[in-house]
A and B are shown apart, each in its own frame.
Chain A
């Protein structure tokens, strides 16, 4: 399974868009990009996933570059409740998700 690289942490102002980057330069053709987040003392929460097209749902947008070597998760209007650890995961056929350490997003008032 491909490895991902995320910044350790990031700050964002409340109400602004939060753009969370992820590099996955060794991704292979059948591997999906998944994003989860984990708010303190809770289990991870699924946000979105995609293969090669951009995806949008009620929580976020996922932008995947044409070469699929990187992606960006966009939270369009960050709120204080979006403060969490965000995990970018690249996974192929196996059912298990391999989480890294993720990136701590802090939304400031």
Chain B
């Protein structure tokens, strides 16, 4: 068990480009979450999956953002037409079941810089 893995760790992109991040949760964790964190703030919820079903999305997840978890294992988060305001740390977390019984395990995040 290597924990939650996120790739890449760092991404620098030009404004207007598309970027995609990958998250590999702990195996057999059926719940997967995406959060975004800007400097000096706590993480903000973006979306979550139970297996391959996307069950909740934040209003922060504009139509330029899309997340998938096609086979209920790894997940991708794509940002289209990036803007400077998208610069942040994107965190993925997973859980074996309801958060009420289990805490989340977070990855180390992907730091996105839009120039």
Interface hits, B36-56 → A, CB 8 Å: 40-45, 48, 55-56
Whether the Cβ atoms of A43 and B4 lie closer than 8 Å is yes
- Complex interface bits, A71-101 against B, C-beta within 8 A gives 1, otherwise 0: 0000000000000000100010011111111
Secondary structure of the A contact surface, majority rule: loop
Beyond A43-B108, A44-B43, A101-B41, whether A96 also contacts B103 by CB under 8 A is no
B58 to A, closest residue via Cβ: A96
- Complex interface bits, B50-71 against A, C-beta within 8 A gives 1, otherwise 0: 0000011010000000000000
For the complex, give the distance between the alpha carbons of A91 and B31 in Å: 17
Chain B residues near A44: list those with CB within 8 A: 43, 91, 93, 104, 106
Query: In which size bucket is the chain B interface?
Result: 20 to 34
Whether the Cβ atoms of B33 and A43 lie closer than 8 Å is no
Chain B residues near A98: list those with CB within 8 A: 45
Secondary structure of the B contact surface, majority rule: loop
Whether the Cβ atoms of B107 and A43 lie closer than 8 Å is yes
With an 8 Å Cβ cutoff, the count of chain A residues facing the other chain is: 22
Whether the Cβ atoms of A95 and B106 lie closer than 8 Å is no
A-B CB contacts (within 8 Å), total count: 54
Whether the Cβ atoms of B93 and A96 lie closer than 8 Å is no
Chain A residues near B56: list those with CB within 8 A: 94-96
B105 sits at the interface (CB 8 A): yes
Known: A43-B4, A96-B48. 7 other contacts (CB 8 A): A32-B100, A42-B108, A43-B106, A95-B31, A95-B98, A99-B44, A101-B42
**Which residues of B come within 8 Å of A, CB atoms?**
4, 31, 33, 40-45, 48, 55-56, 58, 91, 93, 98-100, 103-109
Name 25 interchain pairs, CB-CB below 8 A, sorted by A: A36-B104, A42-B108, A42-B109, A43-B91, A43-B108, A43-B109, A44-B91, A44-B93, A44-B104, A45-B106, A46-B104, A47-B103, A87-B42, A91-B99, A95-B48, A95-B55, A95-B56, A96-B33, A96-B45, A96-B48, A97-B45, A97-B99, A98-B45, A99-B43, A100-B42
